[in-house]
Structure formats: C-alpha cells, structure tokens
Amino acid sequence: MAGVQVANVSRSFGAHKALDDVSIDFADGGFYALLGPSGSGKTTLLRQIAGFDFPDAGRIAIGGESVERVPVEKRRIGMVFQNYALFPNMSAADNVAFGLSVRGEPKATIAAEVQRALDLVQLGKLGTRRPHQLSGGQRQRVALARAIVTKPRVLLLDEPLGALDKALRVDMQIELKRIQREIGITTIFVTHDQEEALTMSDRIGILRDGRLVQEGPPEEIYDRPQSEFAATFLGDANIFRGDATGAGIRLPDGTAIAAGAGAKLAAGAKASCAVRPERIQISTIAKGHDQVDTNMLKGQVSKRIFAGNNSTYFVDRDGQTLKVIVQNTGAERLAEGQEVVLLWSPESTVLIAA
Amino acid sequence: MADQLATGSRRGLKPALPLLLPAYLWLTVAIFLPLSAMVFFSFMTDLPLAEKEWAFTLGNYTAFFSQGLYLTLLLASLRLGLEVTLWCVVIGYPAAYVLAKVLKGRSREAIFLLIILPFWSNGLVRIFSWAMVLREGGILDTTLNAVLPFKINIDLMYSYPAVIIGLVHSYVPYMVLTCYLTLQAIDDSLIEAGRSLGASRFQVLKRVIIPLSMPGLIAGAALIFVPVVGSFMEPRILGGRTGTFYGTIIEDQFVAVFNWPLGAALSFILLAVVLIILALAAPVLRRAG
C-alpha cells in the first residue's frame, strides 16, 4: 500500500483544459473523495492516476515512485468502474480470479484468494453466477472484490455507487467504508454526490473546470469554505455579497454582517459571507432580540417545506431569499407570510474573498 | 414465467401472420419449389424434357461413392473453404478490431467504405481485375520488377494461390462486418478493467475480447465457409486447369454436360456434408463462445 502524490498535473484535450495544474497529496491508507460537477476534471484526474491516460505536464507518484509514464497494467492499482465492467463471459469467481490468473499465480493460491475476497464482500456463495445473474449491488461487490484481490497499492473508484438506488447506495457506502478500513488501502473515489463525499471520506478535493478549488477534511471544507463555489457545492449556503469591513462585510443597504471565520481581508475589498442554513435561528419579531455580537436580519417567510425531522424556511429579505433549516423540536412552526427575525453568530459566518 | 412467455407468443402469432406471410410466400416460391424440383431431379435418370425416357434411380447418389474423383474434389473444396475462412479471419478480424476500437468518426467511415466496396462491384469484374493483376507481365509482376533491383517472375495466374486470393477478396467483408458488430458491442471499460488488473493488451485480447467476439467470428466463418466450398466462378477463372473443384464439377453438370440429375445429387451431397460439419462444430464453438 502506498500514498499517491499528484504534482502540477495538466492535461488538455484539444483546446479544452481538462486538468490545469492540479496538485494533491493522497495520504497512505486514506479515503479520499474527488468531488465536482460533470466536466470538472475529476474523472480525468482519476484516469491519470490509474494510467489510462498520461498527463501533458506534471508528476504522479505512487508510493514515492514516479509513474506518470507507466502504463496502467504495470501500476498495480485496483479500479472499480461506474458500470462495474465485469467480464460477461466469466463467472463472478473467474472475474475475481482474472488479475491473479494473468499474473500466473498457482491455481490453489488463486482459488483461496478468490474465496477470501468473495467472503470479504459477503458473496462467498455466489461465485459460480454469471454477472447477468447478479443484482446491481452484487455486481458492485464482485467488482470491488476483483479490484482488491490483487492487493493493489491504491484503490480507484469511479462513481461506483452511481448506478444503485438510494437505499442500496447507503448500504454500499457503509460496506465500502468497512472494507476499506479492514484492508487499509489508499482509496480515491470520484463522485458528484456531495453527501456521499461527506459521509465516506477522510478528505475531499473539490474540482471545478480542471482546477482544484479546495482540499481538506470534510468538516473543514464544510465549515470553512474558501470560495462561494465550495460553499454552495458542498452543502447548502446562504451567500451575502458586499464590501469587506475588516470584521465582516457591509451589504449594499448598509447592514453589517460580522464574520468570525474565513479569510482575513483588507477593508473595502469586494467580499462575500457564507452561512449554513442550519446555523441560523429563526423567530417571530414579537420576541425581540438585541444582542450586540449576533448577526440579525429581518425578513418574511415566503415558503415552508416540511420534511419530517426538519423544516426549511425560505425567508425573503431585500430581494434575496435566504434558506433556514430548523430541526423539528416540537416548537411552534412559523406560517408563510409571517414577519421573522434571523439570528446567527459571527462564528457561523465565513468570510470569502470575491 | 416460461408459461407466460409461451402463451404470450401464441397470442402474438395471429396478428403477426399478415406480416410474416409475404416472406413465407416468397420463400416458398423462390426457394422451396425450385429446391423440391431439384430433389426430384436428383433421383431421375434424365431430365423429363423433349420426350426423353426417364425413370427413378439412386444412381446419381451412388456415383458419388463409386467414383473417387467426386470425393477427392469435395475434400479439396472443403480444404479450400477452410483456408479461405482462415485467411478471412487473419485479415478481417484485425481490421474489424481497428474499425471498432481504434478509429473514430470520419476515418472510421472512410475505412468502412473501402472494406464494403467489393460488395458493390460486380463479382465477375472483380475476378477479372485480379486476373490482370496476377498474370505474368501483369500489374503485380510489372510493379515488383520496377521496384526491386533483381528480376523476379510473378505469375500467380491459374494457380491455387490465385483462387485463394480471389475468394478471400470476395468474402473478407463478411468477416469484417460480423466481427465489427460484436466487437463494437464490447464496452471499452472491459478492456480498461482487464488492463487495470495487470493484463497486457494481448492477454486482454485473448481472454476477454476474442471470447466475447466469438459469435461474430462464428457467424462470419459460416457465411464464408459455406459458399466457398461450393464456389465455381473464382476457381474457374483464376484457377484455370488447377481450378477444378467440387463447385466447378457441379456447374459443369448444369452448364456443359447437361446432366442436371447428377449435378442436383452432387449439390445435395454437398449440402448434407456442410450441414453435418456445422452441426458437429456447433457445440465446440458454442463452448468457445
């Protein structure tokens, strides 16, 4: 097992820059999500690490060894494809055995290893089935067993859960995480699903238009997004735009918003603030608030969406619609059209350079 | 499930009848009737024409077994069929692979067109143009001698290789087309999956691509082998005296000797042999696929 270093990697297809000077350090044994919208370059990056395609510039190292010109079959990686890519002419067990068998391992070793891998993904009894006789989730497990049975240095997953339905996805997320922990393999996981990235990975890299936007542990990216894109792509965020004041921003209508987190910006620069919907308290005007160190805005509820364990309020304020998520604690629910006060602490407010 | 399917298809037959009828009518008129007539002829002593005397006989069939020549020629034709099929695989499969997996867009269309072209040209013209190329002092001979510093004589005309060349040229598009269809249906990610597991390109070809494209290879081989065994035009024109095969003997019975009953009997023996070969090969090929 080994870490992966990607340093200043660029790749263009004609005039299109699919990857533009991307550098990421994937720690040994970590679970890493590459997150981004389609066309962001996340799959291109994964294919560079796998060796299906070579970068125009930059360096890729697996376990400290430069591999950017090494073809895929010599990189000792394991890969799970979006459509699983199981060989339809072979049984599940033969699919899993493929990597060991092309290496020329003895038959007895292969049989034992294949059984262990199938047991690990809890498919011990289905080895004789052909891929078309397996369900989506089972195919997924076979693909995973096939990818890890060769003891690769790094496991690459290209949207592996994309083709599964919601309930199965959650099961597989837990399962994938369990298996990854059990064998401790460095795992790089491409997804466009932010929830998947948040729940599964130790670190997330957000890509956009071939560039790395932000990189770090999920909590850090969620709590301290460094760009409006990172703030809105990973989770929901209310964005306020205005001029930096040194302690926050001033909105065009003169309202000051204090920000206790994020970038340090000189007064006068264009800047934004991001606030997560669940960090805002919403209450009726009648109660009255006057804390000095709390951000406060007045508005009117334009819509309420009840989702069982929580409700989302859409609050109109000076031409902007803010989102507030309130846990269902049994407290009185606010009606649409009601005048409300929104309160949140500066610590929940992230200052972002425009 | 099976019951459902069965009743479903029975219910489906009635409305399908008007759609099937033209095809079956045509097959009856164009194939079944003439073929029945031929079966009938093959058991006659002579054609029932011009007030000739005729009677039923098995003589046309026993002639095949009593005269060694027919068996020898049949074996020669089977060998010709095998060799031509083999060359079509060797030439056609790589071409189909490149078309399906390497080329994209306009270059694929262009190459495809070039491969289909023999289909659109007249068979006879095709064969005679090969005659122009292969004969001594022909295009191949002249070109090679113009390029090479030493003198060589290329006279492939009226030889076994000439027959092979002509037949391969005529039939290779079948192999390219059937293999292209199966190869193109193989997801590229299977090739990538194989390589990510450490398999070389050759191992992926051997263990994934060839097994998955076996149906195309088999279909192509059957489409080529069967007509080549009975072929007569290419052997006659390009093979000259060496070009006597089972197909040319049958043609002789109909065109030159005017012994239709013998020609018909020889045809049905060929049909039977080909069917037996295909039946014997089917389980082996199915397992390979």
Mean pLDDT computed over A300-315 = 93
Say whether A216 sits in a helix, a strand or coil: strand
In this structure, are A268 and A337 located in the same domain?
A: yes
- Asked, for residue A231, whether it belongs to a domain, the answer is no
Q: Is the pLDDT score of B277 beyond 70? A: yes
Mean pLDDT computed over A342-350 = 92
Select from A223, A244, A262 the last residue of a domain. Answer: A223
- For residue B1, the model assigns a pLDDT of 39
CA distance A167 to A175: 13
Q: For A128-137, A279-288, B21-30, B131-140, which range has the lowest pLDDT when averaged over its residues?
A: A279-288
Q: Does domain B68-288 have CATH number 3.40.50.1000?
A: no
B199 within 8 A of B164, measured Cβ to Cβ: no
In this structure, are A198 and A63 located in the same domain?
A: yes
Domain ranges of chain B: 1-34, 68-288
Contact between chains at B200 and A146 (C-beta distance less than 8 A): no
CB nearest B198 (choices: A83, A89, A150): A150
Q: Which residue has the tokens 């010709």?
A: B80
Contacts 24+ apart (CB under 8 A), A121-127: A121/A145, A121/A175, A121/A179, A122/A175, A123/A92, A126/A92, A127/A91, A127/A92, A127/A93, A127/A96
User: Quick check: B189 contacting A, CB < 8 Å?
Assistant: yes
Select from A223, A254, A277 the last residue of a domain. Answer: A223
Q: Which two tokens stand for residue B33?
A: 């009737």
User: Quick check: B256 contacting A, CB < 8 Å?
Assistant: no
A127 within 8 A of A142, measured Cβ to Cβ: no
User: Quick check: B126 contacting A, CB < 8 Å?
Assistant: no
Interface pTM, i.e. ipTM:
0.84
> What CATH number is attached to the domain comprising A45?
3.40.50.300
pLDDT digits (tens, 9 = 90+) for A21-78: 999 999 999 999 999 999 899 999 999 999 999 999 999 999 999 999 999 999 999 9
Q: Is the pLDDT score of A291 beyond 80? A: no
Q: Which residues of B touch A71 (CB under 8 A)?
A: 195
In this structure, are A207 and A257 located in the same domain?
A: no
CA distance B118 to B125: 10
CA distance B250 to B235: 13
Which of B187, B190, B192, B197 has the highest number of chain A CBs within 10 A, making it the mutation to test binding with A? B197
Q: Which residue has the tokens 């597991």?
A: B197
- Asked, for residue A229, whether it belongs to a domain, the answer is no
Tally Cβ neighbours within 10 Å of residue A194: 21
Q: For A338-342, B1-5, B17-21, B104-108, which range has the lowest pLDDT when averaged over its residues?
A: B1-5
**Residue B86 burial (C-beta neighbours within 10 Å; 0-12, 13-18, 19+):** middle
Q: What is the least distance, in Å, from the CA of A97 to any CA of chain B?
A: 10
Q: Please indicate whether residue B203 or residue B134 has the higher confidence score (pLDDT).
A: B203
Q: Which residues of A touch B189 (CB under 8 A)?
A: 81-83, 85
Query: A-B interface: how many C-beta pairs under 8 angstroms?
Result: 65
**pLDDT grade for B75, boundaries at 50, 70 and 90:** very high
Tally Cβ neighbours within 10 Å of residue B78: 19
Contacts 24+ apart (CB under 8 A), B10-19: none
CA dihedral A11→A15→A17→A20, nearest 10 degrees, is: 80
Q: Which residues of B touch A77 (CB under 8 A)?
A: 196
**Residue A79 burial (C-beta neighbours within 10 Å; 0-12, 13-18, 19+):** buried
In this structure, are A186 and A66 located in the same domain?
A: yes
In this structure, are A171 and A241 located in the same domain?
A: no
User: Quick check: B62 contacting A, CB < 8 Å?
Assistant: no
Say whether A7 sits in a helix, a strand or coil: strand
CA distance A212 to A194: 16
Task: Give me chain A's average pLDDT, please.
Answer: 91
Q: What is the least distance, in Å, from the CA of B2 to any CA of chain A?
A: 17
pLDDT digits (tens, 9 = 90+) for A70-129: 999 999 999 999 999 999 999 999 999 999 999 999 999 999 999 999 999 889 899 999
- For residue B196, the model assigns a pLDDT of 95
Q: Which residue has the tokens 């071939």?
A: A210
- For residue A288, the model assigns a pLDDT of 52
Beta-carbon contacts of B176 under 8 Å, excluding residues fewer than 6 positions away, are B92, B95, B96, B99, B115, B220
pLDDT digits (tens, 9 = 90+) for A149-173: 999 999 999 988 887 888 888 888 8
CA distance B135 to B133: 6
In this structure, are A25 and A129 located in the same domain?
A: yes
- Please name the residue of chain B whose CA is at the shortest distance from the CA of residue A95: B194
**pLDDT grade for A293, boundaries at 50, 70 and 90:** confident
Q: Which residue has the tokens 């009894």?
A: A125
Contact between chains at A72 and B194 (C-beta distance less than 8 A): no
Contact between chains at B196 and A102 (C-beta distance less than 8 A): no
In this structure, are A289 and A326 located in the same domain?
A: yes
- Asked, for residue A228, whether it belongs to a domain, the answer is no
pLDDT digits (tens, 9 = 90+) for A170-204: 888 888 899 899 899 999 999 988 888 998 899 99
Q: Is the pLDDT score of A12 beyond 90? A: yes
In this structure, are A215 and A288 located in the same domain?
A: no
- For residue A289, the model assigns a pLDDT of 56
pLDDT digits (tens, 9 = 90+) for A206-250: 999 999 999 999 999 999 999 999 999 998 999 999 999 888 899
In this structure, are A198 and A242 located in the same domain?
A: no
In which element (H, E) is residue A143 found?
helix A136-148
In this structure, are A305 and A183 located in the same domain?
A: no
Mean pLDDT computed over B196-217 = 94
Select from A183, A201, A223 the last residue of a domain. Answer: A223
Backbone angles phi, psi at A40, to 5 degrees: -80, -15
**Which candidate, B43, B79, B87, places its Cα nearest to that of B246?**
B79
- For residue A290, the model assigns a pLDDT of 60
| Strand pairing category for A16-26 and A339-344 | unpaired
pLDDT digits (tens, 9 = 90+) for A319-334: 899 999 999 888 888 8
Structural domain for A154, as ranges: 4-223
Instruction: Please report which residue ranges of chain B form alpha helices under DSSP H.
Output: 2-27, 33-41, 59-66, 68-97, 105-120, 123-134, 139-147, 160-184, 188-196, 201-204, 210-229, 233-239, 246-255, 260-288
In this structure, are A65 and A144 located in the same domain?
A: yes
In this structure, are A131 and A276 located in the same domain?
A: no
Say whether A349 sits in a helix, a strand or coil: strand
pLDDT digits (tens, 9 = 90+) for B159-198: 899 999 999 999 999 999 999 999 999 999 999 999 999 9
Beta-carbon contacts of B187 under 8 Å, excluding residues fewer than 6 positions away, are A83, A85
CA distance B190 to B205: 11
Domain tally, chain A: 2
User: Which residues, numbered 196 to 215 in chain B, qualify as contacts with chain A under a Cβ-Cβ cut-off of 8 Å?
Assistant: 196-200, 203, 207-208, 211-212
**pLDDT grade for B3, boundaries at 50, 70 and 90:** very low
User: Quick check: B142 contacting A, CB < 8 Å?
Assistant: no
